[in-house]
Amino acid sequence: MRSWHSSCAVSRLPANLRLASEPACHGVRCVGVPTFLMTVVNEDFLAENEEELSDAAAAAEQAIKGALAMGAEQVLAGKRFFGAEVVVSDGNSRERFLVAVGASPIK
């Protein structure tokens, strides 16, 4: 099930339209912002984060950046390879990505 939280954004509509979703005294229309669950998992750990973002593309970008940062930390700490599955879900749809970071000396 999709999780929606209400947040208010200024609309370009005239004030006092008396819409059910509009606060009567503010002239601001409330719109739903989807909540995305972002998961990064591999054989060593599981990291989850739930956040309100504008769309699935923004959620995927943020989750992939987080996985790349984790991978860079692991490689700098001495691991030669870091691989993880990144899952972005809003309750109705789910996207999966593979993120890999590695470093190997060239001889």
Share of the chain above pLDDT 70, in %: 70
d(CA 93, CA 97): 14
Range with the poorest average pLDDT among 11-15, 31-35, 73-77: 11-15
DSSP tag of 23: -
The helix/strand/coil state of 71 is helix
- Is 99 a residue whose pLDDT tops 70? yes
9, two tokens: 């954004």
100, two tokens: 């890999």
